[in-house]
Structure 1
Amino acid sequence: MPRNRLTARASSRTKVLTATAAAAALGLTLYGVGAATADQSAPRSDKQIPNLTNVVNEIKAYYGDTVDSAGEHQASATSNYARQVAGIEAQAKSYLAHAGKSGKHGKKPAIVLDVDDTSLLTYNYELEVGFNYTPASNQAYLDTKNMPAVFGMDTLTDWAAKQGITVFWITGRPESQRADTVRNLAASGFTPAADTAHLYLKNTATPPSYLACGATCTTIQYKSGTRAHIESLGYDIVGNFGDQYSDLSGGYADKSFKLPNPMYYLP
């Protein structure tokens, strides 16, 4: 989620961060935030805009922010974020225990995971850069640090693999970050192979032939088209996991699981 986040992300990050807090206050979902952001209606008064400092503090409270001896921000395993993720994982495990026994039409069962804020938690990076993602700052971070696993996702993924469910990752990270991604997934406790057959990164220089949109794919086109390719290889994607609705839209999955992420929105 440290990934090739499309140009739209950098230009709209502050607006989305603010809108997310407003939605949280109203009990809305992140999807609602995305829809509101697309409206392009300008606030008529400053009173309609949550204070940005307060928004960041709300995000920190939700993640149970702590600072370690190295000055790194860590999310807490007892935070509301961790509790919400655990509830989603419990539902997913119950579902996969039955759905993962066999794929449709004799196909092999598989799950697909996004990487950033679905498999790996970008929380410390986001705070370090003030929620202002750039390819340069993201690469510099990955050059020297590993991101921790999203609470419980390594355990769930490893359990699924032991049930005979093949694990795939589809990420918007650029192809140039393949080695970083493989290293980080392994270091954070994911044991299924994140090799070239199971880890798909965005390659705009030489896009795969199965993506008709080539280098111009939207996130939805890229991810759904890659899922379609995986299914064409003889797999039935019984579960698709993502922290953005664009990770999950476009079909080619029997069921989707949306993980929480109030830090940014990707169309």
Structure 2
Amino acid sequence: MQLSLASKRARIAAAGAALAVGAGLYTAGAASAEHSVPRTDKEIPNLTKVTDKIKAYYGDTVDKNGQHYASPDSNYAKQVADIQKKAKAQLEKAVKNQSGSGKKGAPKPAIVLDVDDTTLLTYNYELQQGFHFTPESQDAYLKSTDMAPVFGMPKLVNWAQSKGITVFFVTGRDEHQRDWSVRNLKNAGYKPAADTAHFFLKNKKTPPAYLPCGATCTTVEYKAGTRKHIESQGYRIVGNFGDQYSDLQGGYAQHTYKLPNPMYFLP
């Protein structure tokens, strides 16, 4: 997930559209007109109801300090667990194929993971901000607070590393947020090193030479271009994990895994 430009976040509106589709409130033709001006109020999901559905889906729990957290017994957690089960089965096949190939110099298996809502859960931050992202509020939160891990992801990622799969993190967070992000990943239980060789953040001031789009990359261009760079170093990306379709598009991965996220949409 890329958390850098508020103008790119179709936050509750996107969540409402997704939930409305599931509830049958939108027709098939609405998808092609999702950015058109509504003709009546009936075409617009009620924000309060959408928020309530999101909270119910995540199993909203509130601690003594009034902070909101997702529940490990929630439908969200169950859906994530199903995706992880399928991913692990495919990764096991990749490890088996790698060990059985016997080819010297064969590409090394790797996985690529987005950060926000793929490895770290932004739910508490979203509730604090009322689903209204700003770069300033994100900086303040990341600097002082650790996000909880996405349920089950540390176990899956650490298992992958133990099987000889190299782990890379590719996020739309800005380069100046690196130290906070590294701290959070470590404290959340991720064992793979989130060093400069394995953790890629967006750097608009001095973009890397391997990205032809430079500082103007779209999310797809940035993520796919980074995966291409990783593969050029002798890796074969056997799994690419993200909560946005823009995390997964553009190729350079054998399998893609879309984690659920009804809170916002990033093109």
TM-score class, shorter: over 0.9
Distance 1:98 1:141, change over 3 A: same
**Corresponding residue for 2:15?**
17
Q: Tell me the alpha carbon deviations over residues 90-118 of structure 1, each in whole angstroms, 9 at most, x when there is no partner.
A: 00001100113429971000000000000
Does residue 132 (structure 1) correspond to residue 132 (structure 2)? The answer is yes
Does residue 107 (structure 1) correspond to residue 101 (structure 2)? The answer is no
The RMSD of aligned alpha carbons is 2.1
CA contact (8 A) 2:12 2:263 kept: no
**Corresponding residue for 1:166?**
166
Counterpart amino acid of residue 83 in structure 1: K
Distance 1:2 1:245, change over 3 A: closer
User: Aligned to 2:61, which of 60, 63, 66?
Assistant: 66
Offset at residue 126 of structure 1 (A): 0.4
Q: Distance between the aligned counterparts of 1:38 and 1:169, measured in 2? A: 34
Counterpart amino acid of residue 24 in structure 1: G
**Corresponding residue for 1:143?**
143
1:212-227 mapped onto 2 (5 Å cutoff): 212-227=212-227
**Corresponding residue for 2:88?**
93
Gaps spanning 5+ residues in structure 2: where? none
Offset at residue 44 of structure 1 (A): 1.3
**Corresponding residue for 2:256?**
256
Offset at residue 27 of structure 1 (A): 9.7
Offset at residue 6 of structure 1 (A): 6.1
Counterpart amino acid of residue 130 in structure 1: G
Q: How many residues align?
A: 261
**Corresponding residue for 1:26?**
24
Q: Distance between the aligned counterparts of 1:146 and 1:38, measured in 2? A: 38
Does residue 4 (structure 1) correspond to residue 4 (structure 2)? The answer is yes
Greater Rg, structure 1 or structure 2?
Answer: 2
SS where residue 76 of structure 2 aligns? helix
Q: Distance between the aligned counterparts of 1:100 and 1:182, measured in 2? A: 27
Q: Distance between the aligned counterparts of 2:54 and 2:178, measured in 1? A: 29
1:229-240 mapped onto 2 (5 Å cutoff): 229-240=229-240
Offset at residue 237 of structure 1 (A): 0.2
Gaps spanning 5+ residues in structure 1: where? none
Offset at residue 26 of structure 1 (A): 3.1
* TM-score under structure 2 length normalisation: 0.93
CA contact (8 A) 2:6 2:134 kept: no
Counterpart amino acid of residue 23 in structure 1: V
Q: Distance between the aligned counterparts of 1:246 and 1:193, measured in 2? A: 25
Counterpart amino acid of residue 21 in structure 1: L
Q: Distance between the aligned counterparts of 1:113 and 1:92, measured in 2? A: 12
User: Aligned to 2:39, which of 32, 41, 44?
Assistant: 44
* TM-score under structure 1 length normalisation: 0.93
Q: Distance between the aligned counterparts of 2:86 and 2:25, measured in 1? A: 21
Q: Distance between the aligned counterparts of 2:110 and 2:6, measured in 1? A: 27
Q: Which moved more, 1:200-209 or 1:70-79?
A: 70-79
